[in-house]
Amino acid sequence: MDSMLIYNIGHLITPQTSGQKGLAGAAMQKIQVLADAAVLVENGIITRIGDSSTMKSLVFVAESLTEHFEYTSSTQTKPPIVQMLDAQGMVALPGFVDSHTHTVFGGHRANEFAMRSAGKTYQEIAASGGGILSTMNATRAASAEELYTIASKRLHDMLRHGTTTVEIKSGYGLNTASELKMLEVVAELQRSHPMTIIPTFLGAHAFPPEFQGDVHNRNRYIDIIINEMLPTVKERGLAQFCDIFCEQNYFSLEQTERILNAALELGFKLKLHADQLSSSGASELGVRLGAVSVDHLECTTESGVQAIASSTTIATALPGASLFLNHPYPPVRRLIDAGATVALATDFNPGSSMTYSMPMMMTLACTQMQITPEEALTAATLNGATALELAYERGSLEVGKQADMLLCDIPDWRFCAYHFGTNPISMIIKNGKVVSTV
Ligand code: NIG
Ligand code: FE
């Protein structure tokens, strides 16, 4: 047995699950704060949480008994010694769960960033050939090895910022071979990287140049998604979620429903980029189809808020995209007050949100969306895990869950949102192992 006692934790902060679900509405505020805590981890799983000095002395007694026992009975195999990790009074938080990213892509779009700073909008840049299609060109041109190398570096940086679980979407290939190439890269990252990585198929991110133009031509791309991409992705086990960009000039409500129904029939779980640039009813559609999450929601109306709040679909806010594009923020205060389960994610991508920082998302949630630090923490951990259907094993520091834990050298846990633009993480523990020290 591989055991570790993390003791001398100044404050242990965690949301607490009711069963295996995320926390909705007012419950998002109720986080647990334990002073002078210790966590016992056995084979990567949290088996006990308690008072630091009590747990330290229990281990001490257990170890001296072990020695005595060994002395008297040499035929027994030696029980393991518990590895001790002194947290030196630091704050312990659950690892962040970034449930919406586009981490695998070729090239960058610093030029578009500069164009926006000079007054151009995201939509104008996309209409003149930039945007998603510019990254599609760079991603198609890159080899799987090149994409793997750069994405692996990005994941390393993400982990340093405290993200221990991440979702990664395809969606910059936009033909069967390149979409599969992206998902194969994600599969390779899953095998080689300590983070928990959840892949999502996003073939319906934009219409590629080959299928632009009239409805007839566009429908041919949708046929390829339905008849070729989805079945192959399923057959090769390359993604468990199917996502879509439901938006004017991208996929209409009707096209979205057609693709998502085909995905459902094949057994995919659903996510939607909903109501980002305009209000289309995508949130309501997502709820009706039983989507696990509807993401973005910058333009979601009161009817969308009510639909989400009366369902189990998670509302995922991506405030990095609002900041970066100077767009409105989603109505997250309304959503929580109406009883919705809200998650926070970075939307890391080269066009609309070039950041790895979940602490920064918490800052934006608190300063731009009237969310409390407690709600922001729940959204960035447990509710993100719920948006990836992982709440049964991740997203909070509780007995029975995997030990994905951050140790932060800060005087008060709220510094992780309050002291913005900094990285509060000193040590990262993933599945009970120290994986990176910043
Ligand atoms: O989530 N909105 C669609 N997709 C991304 C942006 C992708 C891009 O600009 O490359 C988003 O914001
Ligand atoms: Fe996105």
Name the nearest CA neighbour of 312 among 332, 340, 335, 338: 340
Residues 364 and 414 in one domain: no
Residues 100 and 77 in one domain: no
Q: How far is the CA of 99 from the centre of ligand 1 (A)?
A: 14
Task: Provide mean pLDDT across the span 60-65.
Answer: 68
What was the pLDDT predicted at 71? 44
Of the residues 367, 387, 407, which one is the last residue of a structural domain? 387
Residues 241 and 382 in one domain: yes
Q: Which residues of 317-352 are buried (b: 16+ CB within 10 A; e: fewer)?
A: bbbbbbbbbebebbbbbbbbebebbbbbbbbbbbbb
Q: How far is the CA of 303 from the centre of ligand 2 (A)?
A: 22
Residue 81 has pLDDT above 80, yes or no: no
pLDDT in tens, 194-204: 999 999 999 99
Residues 204 and 246 in one domain: yes
Residues 111 and 233 in one domain: yes
Ligand that lies nearest to the alpha carbon of residue 320, given by its number in the listed order:
1
- Tell me the pLDDT of the chain averaged across its residues: 95
Residues 332 and 216 in one domain: yes
Residue 343 has pLDDT above 60, yes or no: yes
Q: For the chain, what percent of residues have pLDDT higher than 90?
A: 90
Ligand that lies nearest to the alpha carbon of residue 112, given by its number in the listed order:
1
What was the pLDDT predicted at 78? 57
Residue 120 has pLDDT above 80, yes or no: yes
Residue 69 has pLDDT above 60, yes or no: no
77 or 403, greater pLDDT: 403
Q: How far is the CA of 321 from the centre of ligand 1 (A)?
A: 8
What was the pLDDT predicted at 1? 76
Residues 282 and 331 in one domain: yes
Please report, for the chain, how many H helices and E strands are present, in that order.
Answer: 17, 16
Residue 316 in contact with ligand 1 by CB distance below 6 A = no
Whichever domain contains 374, its CATH number is 3.20.20.140
| Atom in ligand 1 nearest the alpha carbon of residue 325 | 12
Ligand that lies nearest to the alpha carbon of residue 349, given by its number in the listed order:
1
What distance in Å separates the CA atoms of residue 283 and residue 294, rounded to the nearest whole number?
Answer: 6
Residues 19 and 161 in one domain: no
Q: How far is the CA of 73 from the centre of ligand 1 (A)?
A: 64
Residues 44 and 179 in one domain: no
pLDDT in tens, 283-330: 999 999 999 999 999 999 999 999 999 999 999 999 999 999 999 999
Residues 127 and 19 in one domain: no
Residue 132 in contact with ligand 1 by CB distance below 6 A = yes
pTM of the model: 0.96
Of the residues 348, 363, 387, which one is the last residue of a structural domain? 387
Q: Residue 256 sits in which domain range?
A: 96-387
* Residue 85 confidence class, pLDDT cut points 50, 70, 90: very high
The dihedral built from the CA positions of residue 351, 264, 338 and 18, taken in this order, carries a sign that is negative
Residues 294 and 413 in one domain: no
What was the pLDDT predicted at 24? 97
| Atom in ligand 1 nearest the alpha carbon of residue 126 | 9
Whichever domain contains 49, its CATH number is 2.30.40.10
What was the pLDDT predicted at 79? 56
What was the pLDDT predicted at 59? 81
Tell me how many domains the chain contains: 2
| Atom in ligand 1 nearest the alpha carbon of residue 277 | 2
Q: How far is the CA of 347 from the centre of ligand 1 (A)?
A: 8
Name the nearest CA neighbour of 23 among 312, 295, 411, 402: 312
Residues 172 and 159 in one domain: yes
Task: Provide mean pLDDT across the span 148-156.
Answer: 98
